[in-house]
Amino acid sequence: MMAYPRDCINYLIIILMINIITVACQPQIPASRTSNIKLLSAIFRHGDRTPDNNGHEMYPKDPNLNNNFYPLGLGQLTHKGKNREYELGLHLREQYNEFLGDIYESKALIARSTDYDRTKMSLQLVLAGLYPPQGDLIWNKNLLWQPIPTHYLPSYADVLMIPEECPKYLEKFNNILNSTEVQEIMSDFSELMTNLTRITGKNITKSQDMYYLYHTLDAEKSLGATILDELKAYHPNGPLLEGVLLHYELINFNDDLIKLNGGVLLRKITENMKAVKENTMAEGRKLFLFSGHETNVAAILNALDVYELHVPQYSSCVVIELHEVDNSYYVKVNYFRGIPAEFKTLTIPGCEELCPFDRFIELTAPVTPTDDDLKCDKFQTALYRDKQDKILNKNFQFTLVKQFI
């Protein structure tokens, strides 16, 4: 057993005592008092999908390279994924039924997704499970479903849900990738990337390449599609998992990156909670739904400082709850893992499960972006620069047509 110097042990004891005192000094809710949920914000990943031939995922030696997965198509929800998202809606209904009430009211809900078919469809499926029509809202006895409006922005304009495409984030991320520290970390993966390059026929040179390969194999495994035998030793729990987990670490490497990634959505959620606290929230508003990707789930968990290294599964969902107890407000975080389908309460470091709102603001301040941080023109990036004229012209034409319909 390794022996530690006495000074080191004393230091650890002092740190432990400080943490204990910090937590002990947090306001406690007496057992005799009950908390009332005042607002819910849920951020979730889409369901199981087909591989996406977006220029990043499929690889030259992929047995499914020429498979368009008819009739679903590429990058689309599978039946398994549809069921999983619908079941997420059922789980949210079961967990929060008393607060949400049985009857859907349009004023109670804002539902938003990214501009991907799979996230738009996932949002509709969650809503179908969450809000089946009741009473006078049943419009077809043979179809216990009701239409509910949802919203999205095109990716080039979506700073809230896809902030990692913004120039400020990309600049800081590239600086991290080029740092000596990260270059040394990446050198530990050089043999793995060389082997993956040989097996797949694709040039695997960075963590993002391993990330896309992992999710391609995840999609194919969920489908029951053919996977190269040699890759089965790397996925889902082999060396490739270490590569994809490294990528999640790198994209949230420090507070600056977290602030410009998950911090963007966290700021919006915090503003909504403040509006409830200050009685300026739209009357009757109860729920905000954000349908996105596993990167959104990992990003918000990092912003809350509760991320444990893992790949967020299909239909995984972070629920941020605002509670009121005797005119005081608290924040609680629940995590629905998706696979397995169970909720787990997460405790923000330095707080109780029910974290006093002011303490929550204090703890998340280092990763809360300013107005200047939020300024983002994606047309300045390589991803959109060459598409600017086409996108803007298309939107201009759409606006003109819309005026005459």
Give the residue numbers marked as catalytic.
46, 294
Q: Which residue has the tokens 């996108």?
A: 391
Pairing mode, strands 36-45 and 317-325: antiparallel
Q: Mention every residue, 6+ apart, whose C-beta is less than 8 A from residue 242.
A: 189, 192
Q: Provide φ and ψ at 338, rounded to 5°.
A: 80, -65
CA distance 218 to 224: 10
Collapsed DSSP state (helix, strand, coil) of residue 332: strand
CA distance 139 to 142: 9
Of 272, 287, 268, the closest CA to residue 123 belongs to 287
Name the token pair of 122: 């996932």
Pairing mode, strands 328-336 and 317-325: antiparallel
CA distance 61 to 360: 49
Q: Where are the alpha helices (DSSP H) in 239-282?
A: 239-251, 255-260, 262-277
Of 125, 249, 92, 106, the closest CA to residue 177 belongs to 249
CA distance 230 to 200: 10
Buried b (16+ CB within 10 A) or exposed e, 10-29: eeeeeeeeeeeeeeeeeeeb
Of 315, 362, 359, 361, the closest CA to residue 42 belongs to 315
CA distance 310 to 241: 9
